[in-house]
Amino acid sequence: MVDMTETDVRTGRRKSTDDEVHSHIGSRLKAYYDQVLTQPVPDRFDDLLRQLDEQSASRNGQEQS
Q: What is the pLDDT of residues 16-53, one digit of tens each?
A: 788 899 999 999 999 999 999 999 989 999 999 999 99
Cα 30 from chain centroid (whole Å): 9
Residue 37, domain member (yes or no): yes
pLDDT band at 14 (very low <50, low <70, confident <90, very high): low
Indicate whether 10 belongs to any domain: no
Q: What is the pLDDT of residue 61?
A: 80
**Nearest-angstrom CA–CA distance, 15 and 5:** 8
Domain ranges, residue 30? 15-64
Predicted confidence (pLDDT) at residue 65 exceeds the cutoff of 70: no
Predicted pLDDT of residue 13: 62
pTM: 0.44
Rounded Cα distance, 54 and 65, in Å: 17
Domain membership flag for residue 4 = no
Question: For the chain, what is the domain count?
Answer: 1
48/52 Cα distance (integer angstroms): 6
Domain-located, residue 24: yes
pLDDT tops 80 at residue 64 = no
* 30 located within any domain: yes
Whether 6 is covered by a domain: the verdict is no
Residue 7's SS3 state is strand
